[in-house]
Chains A and B, each alone.
Chain A
């Protein structure tokens, strides 16, 4: 029995360390290869020894697919390919390919240089790893080998995020990675066609949330910033370098342009500049507005947003500063925060979630006096705002995608077990498809019934079509032909052609049958009687009386002869070919009933 097997090595009932193994029609594919943010020991990477204890990974995996550049989807890639050892192809989209090494390098720097970890992958390893990458275009079907093909769909979420369809023969799996069904200021919405996969593996971060319209949030954000700037205050927005930061930049940039504001906006430098560069290049991956206007002006070439310099923090007057990192736990954002916290005219806007223990979390939970290092107490007088900008699909969005793709089964990953439970129940209820939510290391096996394509010769098809009158989708149609199985492909051809191809001579197969009739008259008369009887019964067939005394119905021959022993009985010899079996047996049964009495 053919089947699809799915085993999450990470992200099974969990967020982070996305890594899912899929076996489909004898092909093994690994989807994503991420790290876990919550751990700094061995658990941060997926357990690749699950795949194979001894042999090389390359022998077991046909390919690896990375959905987007977030570290929880690609963080373990150098470790996996260089340290564990994998030489097969790694597929990702071009923006991911461009931005991924920047983030990996950043991650490496923090782990090795800051935390002093040994036995971590090196810069060279990142480079070597990236050499194994094969770039994929949107909607391009890539043949991994003769049978396995993959295709990328737009997923929103971050620049270059993609959903992948993995297809072998008629069996297919769609993996969504992270996606977003509502467009934002710089990216469009995820889209997939009605590809009807056997299995849809979808993220479920917001399985139990239905979000408010994005516009309210944007408006609130802009209003807050605008008011503060008009008051002459400074606005600090701590961000992580990629993703949301660009969205907020575009938002502010267009607002500044629209409202003709003069206050400067700064972006703290670092890897952002490099990343912004890539954002400028990958215009086809952005939303409609940016795509339409980039010829006049590339939206990522910010007019109002300039690079930040340390000295600017002390300059008077209003300004808006984007600074890393996003949780105010260290670095530039914290430095600026310290300088500005004392003034009630200023404002800090936290655009995302903050981990417990960080300054960000403290001020969000309402703490107004912060102890800094050196036993200094910092009084926070500035306003603190929280604004959530997240780019995952909410419950409705997930349902919408499931509705669009029309899968036979759904599998949930990248979410919390409790929330998945709810969504699972909903999906089963609404779409009447089975839904799975395996934990890490747990295998889901789906039996499939792959359809086997059979080629039909055009001549045969046309001949059969010509017989039917109206197309009717509801009724199955009977088709006579010969099935040729040759080199694992199947063809249906007419029997004549099959014979010709196989070089065989046609054998005539004839059935003959004798029917005894009680009739005292002569043979010829009997034949005439049979003829007239059949003529009256079989109106749509061609019944002929041949000069030699025999009767034909289409190609069926009927001869009458006298019985050798009993002259009162006539023997009717009925003979037909194999092709006319249906008519032939009908005729014999008809003749066996006897002829009607002549009047």
Chain B
């Protein structure tokens, strides 16, 4: 059966690659079992009742259908369709037709006529709707065929007057997806009437059914997405829909308005009930702002989100969104924000302690107060105060995007963002902190704002605190009091939550280097130096003291006068810290000390060209020298690998590329070495284990290829091909080695077959890339494939061996951006001498904290491995929620690992490390049939293998026997 299957799969390919083999394919088809269509036909004929037929159809739908038998199946289905009286069965058939026409490699134009034909005679609305859906599937499958599209549009227009909303919905969907984009094409397409799709869809904006209205708007949006330029007249139509009774209509209308405003930002629209005119984008902005106080939260979220992307809006409109003119008893009142600002500028440091300091001041002209503005007034004020946190988050995001594009707006929205730090939902707080960080280059915090920001440092949530540290890293503080305040609060944080140590130090590093002049006047106070007296030397191990020093040293880097203020022990401490915490303490130009390593610092180098050139040259050298004698090649490879590794160490930005290429070269080297072995020179097969080197090499190459494929981010398809090719070679090598060493032929049969399947798989996955692999191992292999299929294992092995030897060395193209995944376990630190004691049989929770770099999709790939001294190893899958994403390419894993074991007599160490799980079959493109089925979920979760990618950390544990 397996062999048979293999042959079938093989046929498909030969069809594409070579003409002559098609004959063989047809010959073999005869051998196939009764086709799927026939089985279906028999089933359907057997069915006595509609329910039975439905059951058969449902069963049938569970299994995929090959492209070549689709047409037969379709015929059977259609035949049955004509006979069927029950609408539910017809519905199922119609839906199956749609599914079938999506099958890859099947061209559905042949069933279109039938589909349109049955559409005309169909009475049931549901079936009609489903048939239209099928037509949509057919139409999208044939995007280039203008005539078919025209016909389908025609059909859709005809059914637009149907009484059922479902049918009208589908018609509109069809129009949106297939409506022709250019009119000129329409005219010469077989004389069909020229239809203005936009106009037709626009007519349905006023349909009586809200679902149809929504579908009409969606169809319009679809047209826009497909690149059709919408008319500006749609704007006024869409504006009317904003006051629709149904939320889904309003929600879609908001989107449409946004689209139009992006298309015609500068055109002028009149303001109703006045003679004035404004820009369309401003008008749209006002309207969407108004929707932020809509009755339905779905619409509110939608509106708030879209606001963020309207960057062309005029600044005074933008600033209105934060303005809510307060009044009390018709007298103008200042907002708390304005009061705080005034207090700050007047120099008085007090928060209004009197009753009535918020008393309203001047009278407001009653005529001028506009309670419901058509404009943008206070949209964000409302959005940020909304009941639903979804709306608040959307508002914060929008605020962030707008603030990034407008510095003046950033300055204004600061107060509101700071207020959001006290939101009741942690997500919102976190989001607003992140937002603030993103706009931090546009703003400078006032002292009172800083005060509020720093108050959040006491938050018990670690995420919030760390986000805040990140924020402080890149904030601008205006005064030295501000710096002092920040330092004090950070130290307070440090005493309250000692685990934040690293994050706080890092934060202070940036705070110091950003504000050297503000730190300077604080130095004597911070170091508690005295002009006359010597003060006691502080404890060097105190994290708080280190924090202060980190701040000062980083400020001193750009402030040469500062070291003069240091006392003796400060210099000693500097030397110590420069060594122990070199990533936090910069090199200083201290008086009387030589600056050793400043020239070596990588960021001094203005251009990384020379090193990059070197990399390129050494790789080219390798690739050009493939025809040298083996000995020379080996040496060259060895040298190049050494060079690359060293380069990677020196140049951190090239580390990814260098490592990646070095690994590849190493694979090649191993392959060459393995093929050079003496063992091949012996003519007869050896049944002794002499081929250790070769089999080990094969194994190692496999491992390395997996590493190359999964441990680097930014690997593109062309690299994947090469990697897979290398793996295929390794598998071939393995096969040969086994053939040489194993006794008997039986195991060889299985291996051979497996290998051929692998080749097949390779060809299927990378069919598009095969032309690039000219003259390679695989290329030759595929040429000889028909021969291999029929030959005996011994022969196969022979062929493979010669091919391996002849195969050329493939050039590995370097990807643009490549980074090696890496992980560092911060906690447990592995330093503790106190074992973690727990009762055997029970569990102990171990906190694991690690940073991951350049890991794609860590939620599914990163695992924690715990190995016990008895060789037992456990793999733990962390929860997706345990991963945080503090920045691009970086992840943070904070999780708990449960340990348990039977009782030990002595404390012992367990090893904790992180693994990268991979699954190479996840790259196979899935057919539409399996989508959503149970099979796919299995494929997703299964793990093919793992790669350790962090240093292991030892944890001392001691399971005690339970006391009775």
Contacts and interface: CB of A to CB of B under 8 A. Distances in A.
Interface of A: 182-183, 185, 188-189, 191-194, 208-220, 222-224, 226, 254, 257-260, 287-289, 350, 364-366, 383-386, 395-396, 399-400, 403-404, 419, 422, 425-426, 430, 462, 465, 469-471, 473
B459 A183 contact: no
A419 B328 CA distance: 10
A351 to B, nearest CB: 12
A208 B328 contact: yes
B642 interface: no
B372 A403 contact: yes
A210 B326 contact: yes
A219 B422 contact: yes
Contacts of B330: 208, 419, 422
B245 A194 contact: yes
Contacts of B372: 396, 399-400, 403, 430
Contacts of B378: 396
Interface stretch (B54-62, B145-153, B200-208, B577-585): B200-208
A15 to B, nearest CB: 14
A385 B353 contact: yes
B419 A462 contact: no
B333 A212 contact: yes
Contact of B206 (A213, A383, A419, A473): A473
B325 interface: yes
10 cross-chain pairs, A with B, having the tightest CB-CB distances, nearest first: A216-B336, A183-B387, A386-B355, A215-B419, A364-B355, A208-B330, A259-B458, A399-B371, A260-B460, A189-B387
Contacts of B207: 471
A425 B366 contact: yes
Chain B CB count within 10 A is highest, among A217, A288, A395, A465, for A288
Given A188-B387, A395-B327, 4 more contacts: A211-B326, A213-B384, A396-B372, A404-B295
Chain B CB count within 10 A is highest, among A188, A224, A365, A403, for A403
A217 B337 CA distance: 10
B161 interface: yes
Interface of B: 161, 163, 203, 206-208, 245, 293, 295, 324-330, 333, 335-337, 351, 353-356, 366, 369, 371-372, 378, 381, 384-389, 416, 419-420, 422-425, 452, 455, 458-461, 496
18 contacts: A183-B385, A192-B295, A194-B245, A208-B330, A210-B327, A213-B336, A220-B351, A223-B455, A287-B387, A288-B387, A365-B355, A366-B354, A400-B372, A422-B366, A426-B371, A471-B206, A471-B208, A473-B208
A209 B329 contact: yes
Contacts of A224: 351
Nearest to B354: A366
A350 B207 CA distance: 56
Nearest to B464: A258
A226 B457 CA distance: 14
Given A216-B337, A287-B387, A400-B293, A419 B329 contact: yes
Given A217-B336, A426-B369, A288 B389 contact: yes
| Main SS class of interface, B | loop
Contacts of A399: 371-372
Contacts of B385: 182-183, 213-215
B422 A383 contact: no
B389 A289 contact: yes
Contact of B335 (A216, A220, A289, A419): A216
B842 to A, nearest CB: 25
Contacts of B460: 257-260
A318 to B, nearest CB: 15
Chain B CB count within 10 A is highest, among A192, A258, A386, for A258
A220 B336 contact: yes
Contacts of A419: 329-330
A208 B329 contact: yes
B521 to A, nearest CB: 26
Given A288-B388, A400-B293, A218 B351 contact: no
Contact of A218 (B353, B422, B461): B422
Contacts of A182: 385
A260 B203 contact: no
Nearest to A192: B295
B768 to A, nearest CB: 48
Contacts of B425: 289
A289 B427 CA distance: 12
Nearest to A191: B295
A590 B588 CA distance: 111
A150 to B, nearest CB: 21
B577 to A, nearest CB: 30
A206 to B, nearest CB: 9
A216 B372 CA distance: 23
Nearest to A211: B326
Nearest to A190: B387
A215 B387 contact: no
A462 B355 contact: no
A183 to B, nearest CB: 4
Nearest to A181: B293
Chain B CB count within 10 A is highest, among A212, A419, A462, for A212
Nearest to A466: B163
A259 B333 CA distance: 32
B326 A259 contact: no
A385 B386 CA distance: 27
B458 A209 contact: no
Chain B CB count within 10 A is highest, among A182, A183, A208, A213, for A213
Contact of B458 (A192, A260, A365): A260
B586 to A, nearest CB: 34
B424 A289 contact: yes
Nearest to A461: B163
A218 to B, nearest CB: 6
Contacts of A218: 422
A159 B317 CA distance: 38
A419 B324 CA distance: 20
A215 B416 CA distance: 9
B377 to A, nearest CB: 9
A113 to B, nearest CB: 33
Contacts of B354: 366
A188 to B, nearest CB: 5
A238 to B, nearest CB: 14
A70 to B, nearest CB: 22
B419 A194 contact: no
Contact of A209 (B328, B335, B337, B389): B328
Contact of B371 (A194, A395, A462): A395
B287 to A, nearest CB: 14
B667 to A, nearest CB: 52
B111 to A, nearest CB: 31
Contact of A219 (B324, B419, B458, B461): B419
Chain A CB count within 10 A is highest, among B371, B385, B459, for B371
A213 B419 contact: yes
A163 to B, nearest CB: 13
Nearest to B460: A260
A45 B324 CA distance: 39
Nearest to B325: A210
Contacts of A462: 163
A384 B356 CA distance: 12
Given A193-B295, A422-B366, A396 B371 contact: yes
A312 to B, nearest CB: 25
A213 B381 contact: yes
A259 B422 contact: no
Contacts of A396: 324, 371-372, 378
A182 B391 CA distance: 13
Contacts of B381: 213
Contacts of B388: 288
A212 to B, nearest CB: 5
B462 to A, nearest CB: 12
B216 to A, nearest CB: 12
Contacts of A215: 384-385, 419-420, 422-423
A224 B350 CA distance: 11
